[in-house]
Amino acid sequence: MAHVTDFKEAGFDTLLEELEWRGLISQSTDRDRLAEALNGEPITYYCGFDPTAASLHIGNLVQLINMRHLQLAGHHPIALVGGATGLIGDPRQSGERTLNPKDVVAGWAERLKRQIGGILETEGANPVRFVSNYDWTAQMTVIDFLRDVGKNFRLGTMLAKDTVARRLNSEEGISFTEFSYQVLQGNDFLHLFDEYHCTLELGGSDQWGNLTSGLDLIHKVRGVDVNVFTSPIITDASGKKFGKSEGNAVWLDATMLSPYKFYQFWINRPDVEMENLLKAFTFLPKAEIERLVEESKTNPGKREAQKTLAWEVTSFVHGEEATQAAIDASGALFGRGGNLEDIDEAMLESVLDGFKVTDEQGNHVFPVAHPGDRVIDAAQAAGLFKSGSEARRAIKSGGVYLNNNRVDDEEQVLGEGDFLSGRFALIRRGKKALGAVETR
């Protein structure tokens, strides 16, 4: 796991001060009340994660980082994996969610628990507690739900929630199912307050309406003021929602997005994003972040800030061993150290995924090659050269490499031993242009 520290070691007087400096708080209940709660005796807090997909993504990572900051400060975390709310789905601004089968949601819930358990401490003096709202929601009858919970909600307040209001004014509208989501989430907070004296809920800024539902419910039925706060939606330098690329999320599950690709996502962030990303996504002390930001301005070619960011976030999510393996694989790929033969097949396939070419059907594939094929033909198939004569000239000038070994013979052919893991042969043009072919 990446380097982590508490707020005092990070250079702050209070936890709230650190979270605000890092840009991790967007909205909150009364600041003085929240500060007092966080500065006093340890409190119990929770954050909910609905299993609406097989993995969390980096938008959820912001919530996990907030949870980890509080856990390091001694507060007691509860991770609610929404076995019940995951069957419904919280209202989105874009339209109704697809309702997934119960067995699928249950399987996703288990995967999310494993991911969260790999990020938050699960052992020791202050481990995370896992709960599922299905355990208490499924026991309620419709009559119980309406009498004990629903009677405490006012329709005008529910209709005024931002996401609900937008959906009501949209062409599609909103179903009663998704409209009721805020009541279920409010009841979750009440249950956790009664069961564990949980007095703080965290969430994303798009969850503000749902969070305040629980706050209002507890105030009404228990006469107690609790707290909520949200983190902002992280955006890139252009203002686009961070982590979205052509509609694809940056997943935290290694089987859905390899540690190598995850690492590459972070190391390729531009200099202008470094300050916000280092603050929000790492646990580095303030002084170190300020040094890295200044270094990115005075010596951008060194890319120390990007390398540090990529290491910190990737090792936090996937562990140091997987992160180092991704770094080593990248270095070996371009002949900057390490042996290609040491890269296992799964890592090799992941690393090379970005070097596929488009076939006649529009699919992204590795070009097929076989032992006995000429290197220049394989290089053309991999998209490195437009013609054989161009490839020959590059070989004559010493600019073509097969598995990081210079190709000197224009008629050199691929041998069986040239296919790494029995599958891939790497061909490089110069220092940076890389292609790959696969034998099948």
Instruction: Determine whether the annotation assigns residue 45 to a binding site.
Output: no
Structure tokens belonging to residue 104: 């699928």
Q: What is the dihedral of CA 218, 220, 224, 229, to 10 degrees?
A: 50
Residue 223's region, left for phi above 0, alpha for psi from -120 to 50, else beta, is left
Measured from the Cβ of residue 219, the count of other Cβ atoms closer than 10 Å reads 12
Instruction: Determine whether the annotation assigns residue 244 to a binding site.
Output: yes
Q: How far apart are CA 311 and CA 158, in angstroms?
A: 43
What residue type is assigned to position 108 of the chain?
W
Q: What is the dihedral of CA 75, 78, 79, 81, to 10 degrees?
A: -170
Half-sphere exposure of 326 (CA within 13 A, CB side): 25
Q: How far apart are CA 249 and CA 140, in angstroms?
A: 35
Q: Which of 111, 109, 91, 24 is nearest to 64 (CA)?
A: 24
For the chain, how far is it from start to end, CA to CA, in angstroms?
38
Within its chain, how far is the Cα of 146 from the centroid?
37
Task: Give the three-class secondary structure for 338.
Answer: coil
Residues forming a β-bridge with 375: none
Q: Which of 406, 402, 404, 377 is nearest to 391 (CA)?
A: 377
Instruction: Determine whether the annotation assigns residue 196 to a binding site.
Output: no
Q: Annotated binding site: which residue ranges? A: 46, 181, 185, 244
Binding site feature residues for L-tyrosine: 46, 181, 185
Q: Binding site for ATP: what residues are annotated?
A: 244
